[in-house]
């Protein structure tokens, strides 16, 4: 809210400052004001710092909690007597935090250099400005934030692979999650050593990226306001770029508001699923969706145990996945209802905005700034809950395991 943070006279309003700070810290990307025009250089630095803190903090927090969950459950199943003695030590936390820092800085620095060179050499932008653009967008991409220093996001670079693909690489790497990145770093060529989490994240990410690219490209292929006038190879690039953005990144290289409503619905599904756990992506996570999918397949086959990549899935994970998913659905439906009551926008537009906020994506059909204050205040806690809620809720379910000394008799209601 400081006057120095705004490019124009006076300071930002409390609501604009709160919304922007929340969106940056929760690495969402939704904005109520034009980032490069409204905020000064100081304001943009504050936004960048919040993005870095938010992404780094969430990765660290989720990784520490995940390590605690894995150790608690694994040692309980193997040696219950050693559960109390074997806790998460300071050395483990220290190495984990340092690992997150190293990975973040290496990826961000590499992408920043590529973008800086492209802006400077390809578009004749002065080196200091090119470096700032490269650093800002690299940090925003790796942390899946989606903040851009161009009023039209990245539409001016829609067909420039040297801009779009490095950003996509940073987004995908950040969305995989720290545990997966570390395991690939150690055992990239030895797939048999990969954990179920790594296999699910890689498999789910590949399927969703490919499926999203095909879906968006085909639906928008003849849309004159999006892909219609482009060459076929540019259409594929834009389709892939937006499939990556639905992993909770938030950049756009064509007008989202001009897309077909069917594309919005498909992107809602992709945004809701999100990326990998313990990463910078939001959503219910790829692993949660994959677990639900395998449960359905198991029920259809009439089998009793859910088997995933040669391993049997713990029954407690079934309940956790269902609980996280249904809670997320309730939040999205409830928030959509509230916004429908206080705005005149269509269901398609409101649902897209709500899913984008909950999944910390940042894509919008263009209605964010036009929402009434009460509508924007609905999105603020939704972004915060969507960022930390699934992590906290899932870990609480996993760590708070109570054993009864007795079992009640079974009975089955009619399902379906």
Instruction: Say if 247 falls within a structural domain.
Output: yes
The pLDDT value given to residue 93: 62
The pLDDT value given to residue 278: 75
The pLDDT value given to residue 154: 95
Instruction: Say if 58 falls within a structural domain.
Output: yes
Instruction: Say if 188 falls within a structural domain.
Output: yes
Backbone angles phi, psi at 293, to 5 degrees: -65, -45
User: In whole angstroms, how far apart are CA 396 and each of 53, 259, 282?
Assistant: 23, 39, 18
Instruction: Return the higher-pLDDT residue of 11 and 87.
Output: 11
Instruction: Say if 410 falls within a structural domain.
Output: no
Place of tokens 């894995």: 70
The pLDDT value given to residue 66: 59
**Which residues are bridge partners to 415 per DSSP?**
none
Q: Which token pair is 314?
A: 């713990």
- Residue 181's domain comprises 3-399
Instruction: Say if 366 falls within a structural domain.
Output: yes
Instruction: Return the higher-pLDDT residue of 100 and 362.
Output: 362
The pLDDT value given to residue 409: 87
The pLDDT value given to residue 412: 77
**Which residues are bridge partners to 308 per DSSP?**
311
Strand duo 307-308 + 311-312: pairing: antiparallel
Q: How many domains does the chain have?
A: 1
CB-based contact 245:155 (threshold 8 Å): no
Instruction: Say if 101 falls within a structural domain.
Output: yes
**Per-residue pLDDT for 70 more than 60?**
no
- Distance CA(198)–CA(70), nearest Å, equals 14
Report, as an integer, the average pLDDT of 147-172.
95
Instruction: Say if 216 falls within a structural domain.
Output: yes
Per mean pLDDT, which of 35-39, 312-316, 406-410 is the most reliable? 35-39
Instruction: Say if 413 falls within a structural domain.
Output: no
Report, as an integer, the average pLDDT of 18-45.
95
Backbone angles phi, psi at 311, to 5 degrees: -125, 150
**Per-residue pLDDT for 60 more than 80?**
no
Confidence band for 386, pLDDT divided at 50, 70 and 90: confident
The pLDDT value given to residue 225: 95
For every residue of the chain, which 3-state class applies, written as one string?
CCHHHECCCCCCCHHHHHHHHHHHHCCCCCCCCCHHHHECHHHHHHHHHHHHHHHHHHHHHHHHHHHHHHHHHHHHHHCHHHCCCCCCCHHHHHHHHHHHHHHHHHHHHHHHHHHHHHHHHHCCCCHHHHHHHHHHHHHHHHCCCCCCCCCCCCHHHCCCHHHHHHHHHHHHHHHHCHHHHHHHHHHCCCHHHCCHHHHHHHHHHHHHHHHHHHHHHHHHCCCCCCCCCCCHHHHHHHHHHHHHHCCCCCCCCCCHHHCCHHHHHHHHHHHHHCCCCCCCCCCCCHHHHHHHHHHHHHHHHCCCCCEECCEECCHHHHHHHHHHHHHHHHHHHHHHHHHHHHCCCCHHHHHHHHHHHHCCCCCCCCCCCCCCHHHHHHHHHHHHHHHHHHHHHHHHHHHCCCCCCCCCCCCCCCCC
Confidence band for 61, pLDDT divided at 50, 70 and 90: low
Per mean pLDDT, which of 39-43, 277-281, 299-303 is the most reliable? 39-43
- Distance CA(52)–CA(170), nearest Å, equals 14
The pLDDT value given to residue 113: 97
User: In this predicted model, what pLDDT tens digit does every residue of 166-207 receive, in sequence order?
Assistant: 999 999 999 998 788 888 888 888 888 888 889 999 999 999
Confidence band for 400, pLDDT divided at 50, 70 and 90: low
The residues, ordered by sequence, that sit 6+ positions from 65 with a Cβ below 8 Å of its Cβ are 391, 392, 395
Confidence band for 74, pLDDT divided at 50, 70 and 90: very low
CB-based contact 283:175 (threshold 8 Å): no
Confidence band for 62, pLDDT divided at 50, 70 and 90: low
The pLDDT value given to residue 68: 58
Report, as an integer, the average pLDDT of 389-416.
71
The pLDDT value given to residue 86: 34
In percent, how much of the chain has pLDDT > 70?
Answer: 88
Report, as an integer, the average pLDDT of 308-326.
86
Among 23-37, 59-73, 398-412, the range scoring the smallest mean pLDDT is 59-73
**Per-residue pLDDT for 215 more than 90?**
yes
């Amino acid at each position: 809210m400081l006057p120095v943070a705004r490019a124009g006279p006076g300071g930002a309003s409390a609501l604009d400052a709160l919304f922007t700070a929340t969106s940056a810290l929760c690495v969402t990307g939704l904005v109520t004001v034009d980032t490069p025009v409204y905020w000064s250089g100081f304001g943009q630095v504050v936004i960048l710092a919040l993005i870095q803190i938010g992404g780094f903090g969430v990765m660290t927090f989720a990784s520490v909690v995940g390590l605690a969950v894995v150790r608690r459950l694994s040692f309980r199943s193997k040696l219950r007597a050693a559960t109390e003695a074997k806790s998460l030590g300071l050395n483990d936390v220290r190495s984990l935090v340092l690992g997150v820092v190293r990975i973040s800085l290496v990826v961000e620095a590499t992408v920043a250099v590529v973008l800086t060179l492209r802006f400077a050499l390809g578009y004749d932008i002065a080196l200091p400005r090119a470096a700032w653009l490269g650093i800002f967008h690299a940090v925003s991409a790796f942390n899946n934030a989606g903040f851009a220093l161009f009023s039209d996001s990245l539409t001016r670079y829609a067909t420039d692979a040297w801009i779009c693909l490095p950003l996509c690489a940073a987004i995908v790497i950040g969305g995989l999650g720290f545990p997966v990145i570390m395991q690939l770093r150690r055992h990239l060529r030895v797939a048999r050593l990969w954990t179920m989490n790594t296999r699910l994240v890689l498999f789910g990410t590949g399927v969703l990226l490919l499926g999203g690219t095909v879906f968006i490209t085909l639906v928008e292929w003849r849309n004159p306001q999006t892909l219609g006038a482009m060459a076929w190879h540019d259409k594929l690039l834009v389709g892939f770029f937006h499939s990556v953005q639905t992993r909770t990144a938030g950049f756009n290289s064509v007008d989202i508001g001009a897309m077909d409503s069917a594309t919005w619905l498909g992107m809602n599904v992709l945004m809701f699923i999100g990326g990998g756990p313990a990463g910078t992506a939001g959503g219910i996570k790829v692993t949660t969706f994959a677990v639900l999918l395998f449960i359905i397949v198991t029920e259809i086959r009439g089998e009793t145990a859910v088997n995933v990549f040669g391993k049997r899935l713990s029954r407690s994970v079934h309940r956790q996945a269902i609980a996280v998913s249904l809670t997320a659905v309730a939040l999205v439906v409830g928030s959509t209802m509230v916004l429908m009551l206080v705005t005149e926008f269509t269901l398609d537009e409101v649902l897209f905005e709500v899913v984008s906020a909950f999944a910390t994506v940042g894509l919008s059909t263009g209605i964010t700034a036009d929402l009434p204050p009460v509508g924007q205040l609905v999105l603020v806690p939704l972004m915060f809950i969507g960022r930390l809620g699934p992590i906290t809720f899932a870990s609480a379910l996993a760590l708070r395991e109570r054993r009864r000394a007795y079992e009640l008799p079974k009975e089955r209601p009619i399902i379906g």
